Structure 1
Amino acid sequence: MPDLDSSVLILALLASLVTVAVSMTAAALRAAQLGVVAVVDVAWGAGFVAVALVSGVIGLLVSDALTTWRTVLLMVLVAVWGGRLAWHVRSRAVGEHQGKEDPRYAEMLGGSLAEVGMGTAVRRVFLVQGFAQWFVSLPVVIGAVVAATWWPVVVLGVVVWAVGLYFEAVGDRQLREYKARPREERPPVMDEGLWGLTRHPNYFGDACVWWGLWLAGGLASGWLLGLVTVLCPVAMTFFLRNVTGAKLLEKKMSQRDGWDEYAARVPMFAPRPLGRP
C-alpha cells in the first residue's frame, strides 16, 4: 500500500473513531436527560451514517474517479440502511415505547437507569456499543479510502446488502402492522410473512447488510484487507444473534402462549427455505 494511502487510511480510522465518540457522548447525554438508555439505539443507526459520511468525505478528497464511485456507493448504502433504522427506532421511542426502557437494556444494567446510575450505563452500554460501532464500520471506512481490487465482489456485496435491507425493513413493517391489530384479533405470536421463515427477520437482515458491506468495502479492497476485516461482520452477527439481539429478546417472548410450537417450526435466525415445513 502506498505511503499516501496508508496515511489517508490512518486519518480515516482516527476520524471515524472521533465520530463514534461524539455520537455516543451525545446519546449518553440525551439518555441522562430522558432517563432511558434505549436512546442508544437511535445513535446506533445514525452513528454508522456519520462514520460513512466522514470517511467518505476523506476518500473523495484523495481518490481517483474509479475509487470515488465506490466511495459514494458505500456512503449511500450505509445512509439508506442507517437512516431507515434510526427513523424506525425513533418512531417507536415517541410512540408505543415513549418513556419506557427497553427490557434488553434493563437486563444488561440490572435495573433502570435511575437505579444503577449513569456511570454504569456508560460502562456497560455506551462504551461497549461505541467500540462495537467503530469496529463493525471498519470495512466501510477502508472501502471509502482504498481503491477496489475486485469489482464483481462489490456487486455481490450490494446484492447481499439489498437482501438484508429487505428482510429488515419488511420484517419491521410486518411487525408494526401486527401490533396495530386489536389484541383479540391477532395470534399471540407473530408468525406471518417473513416471521414465518425466521423468528427474527430484522436481526437476520441486519447481519446480511453488514456482510454485504464487508464484501463491497473490505473484501473488494483485496484479500488481505478482506481477511483483516472479516471479524467485523462476524462480530455483528454474533451479537445480533447471541448477545444483544435475538437470544436476549427471546427470554421475554418465550413466555407467550404458542411460543414453543412456533420455535419448533421456525428457525431462530437464518430463514428456512420457502415451502419447507
Structure 2
Amino acid sequence: MSVDVKNLLRVTGASAAVVTALQTGTAALALRKERRDYADGVWGPGLAAVAITSAAVGNGDPWRRWALAGVTTAWAARLERLMLGRLRGTDEEDERYTEFLEGDSTPVVIAKVFGTQAVAQLLVSAPLQVAAASPLPRGLRRWLFPAGLAVMVAGAVVEATADAQKARFMAEKKQAKQDGADDDVPDELEVLDSGLWGWSRHPNYFGDSVVWDGAWLAAAASAPGAWTLPAPVAMSYFLVYATGAKRTEDRMGERPAYQDYQRRVAFFVPRPKR
C-alpha cells in the first residue's frame, strides 16, 4: 500500500505551521517572563496538535488517524498537567536551561530551544503524519494498528504510574523534612526504589518511549509507516541522553545513596532489582 504523497505533503505542511505557531507564541512569552523553561510546557501540546491536525487534514484510514490523535491527546493532557504544576510551582527558571543558555543571545536561545524543539516535534510525530495519509492493508499486517494502540496505552499507564509514585515519594520526603526540622530524612526516603522505580531508575521516561514505539507500530501497519522508525529511535535518544535520564544521573550521581541505587536497579529498561 502506498502513501498519498500529495496528502502527506498537506499533512506535513499543516503540522509544521501549527508547531511553528505554538513555538513562536511560547518563545515570546518565555522571553518576556525570562523563563526559557516554558518550552517544557509546549512539548506535549505540540505533539497533540500535530496528531489532531494530521487526523483532520489526512485522508488515510479514519479509524486509525483519529484513534492515534485521541491517544496522543490523552497522553499530552496528562503530561501538560504535570508540566504546568512544575512551572507554576516556582518563580525560578529551571537550572538546566540557565546553564545550557548562559551567555546566549536571544536569536541563539530561540534557535537552540524553540527551533530545536519544533524540529524534534515534527520528527517524533512522523509516524502520525504518515499514518494519517495512508490506507490500511487488507491482510494480517493491518493488526499492527490495534497492537500499536495497545502499546501506546501501556506505555502511557507506565509513565503515569511512575510519575504518581514519584509525586507521593516527594510529598512524603517533604513532610519528613518538615517534621524533622534539621534532622536527616529517613534512609527509606533518600532514594525512591519501590514500585516501578525498583525495576528501572527512569520508569517514567521508559513509559514515554514505549508510547512512541506504539505510535510507530500502529503506523507500520501500512508499509510506508515502517520507514518512520527513526522517529521512535530519536524519541528514545532524547529521553535518555538529551533531556532526561542521563542529566538526572549526572545531577544525582555523587550521592552515596544514589550510587547504591545505581548498582541495584536497571538504568532504563526494567528488570528485577538485584
Return the TM-score normalized by structure 2.
0.89
Contact residue 68 and residue 149 of structure 2 kept, 8 A: no
Contact residue 20 and residue 51 of structure 1 kept, 8 A: yes
- Counterpart Cα distance in 1 of 2:51 and 2:95: 30
After TM superposition, list the pairs within 5 Å mapping 1:78-227 onto structure 2. Answer: 78-95=72-89, 98-109=90-101, 111=102, 115-149=103-137, 150-181=141-172, 182=175, 183=177, 184-185=185-186, 187-217=189-219, 219-222=220-223, 224-226=224-226
Contact residue 188 and residue 256 of structure 1 kept, 8 A: no
- Counterpart Cα distance in 2 of 1:170 and 1:50: 24
Aligned twin of 1:243: 242
- Counterpart Cα distance in 2 of 1:269 and 1:88: 21
- Counterpart Cα distance in 2 of 1:236 and 1:2: 25
Contact residue 42 and residue 87 of structure 1 kept, 8 A: no
Q: Which amino acid aligns with 2:152?
A: W
- Counterpart Cα distance in 1 of 2:193 and 2:162: 11
SS in 1 for 2:31: helix
Worse overlay, 251-260 or 72-81: 251-260
- Counterpart Cα distance in 2 of 1:189 and 1:118: 38
- Once the two structures are superposed, what CA deviation does each residue of 1:52-102 show, in whole Å capped at 9, x if it has no partner? 11111112xx45xxx11111101101101111111110111112xx22222
Identical pairs, percent: 35
Contact residue 2 and residue 134 of structure 2 kept, 8 A: no
Worse overlay, 21-30 or 100-109: 100-109
SS in 1 for 2:189: coil
SS in 1 for 2:267: coil
Contact residue 124 and residue 232 of structure 2 kept, 8 A: yes
1:19 CA drift (Å): 1.1
Aligned twin of 1:36: 35
Contact residue 198 and residue 270 of structure 1 kept, 8 A: yes
1:2 CA drift (Å): 6.9
- Counterpart Cα distance in 1 of 2:133 and 2:108: 36
- Counterpart Cα distance in 1 of 2:168 and 2:229: 36
SS in 1 for 2:136: coil
Worse overlay, 47-56 or 155-164: 155-164
Query: Gaps (5+ residues) in structure 2?
Result: 178-184
1:158 CA drift (Å): 1.6
SS in 2 for 1:258: helix
- Counterpart Cα distance in 2 of 1:167 and 1:103: 27
Q: Which amino acid aligns with 1:104?
A: R
Aligned length: 260
- Counterpart Cα distance in 1 of 2:92 and 2:154: 32
1:272 CA drift (Å): 0.8
1:243 CA drift (Å): 1.7
1:48 CA drift (Å): 0.6
Return the TM-score normalized by structure 1.
0.88
- Counterpart Cα distance in 2 of 1:259 and 1:132: 31
1:159 CA drift (Å): 2.1
SS in 2 for 1:220: coil
- Once the two structures are superposed, what CA deviation does each residue of 1:3-60 show, in whole Å capped at 9, x if it has no partner? 9x2211110011111111111111111111221111111100000111111111112x
Q: Which amino acid aligns with 1:101?
A: E
Aligned twin of 2:19: 20
- Counterpart Cα distance in 2 of 1:99 and 1:123: 24
- Counterpart Cα distance in 1 of 2:197 and 2:157: 13
Aligned twin of 2:257: 258
Query: Gaps (5+ residues) in structure 1?
Result: none
SS in 2 for 1:116: coil
Contact residue 198 and residue 269 of structure 1 kept, 8 A: yes
- Counterpart Cα distance in 2 of 1:26 and 1:253: 34
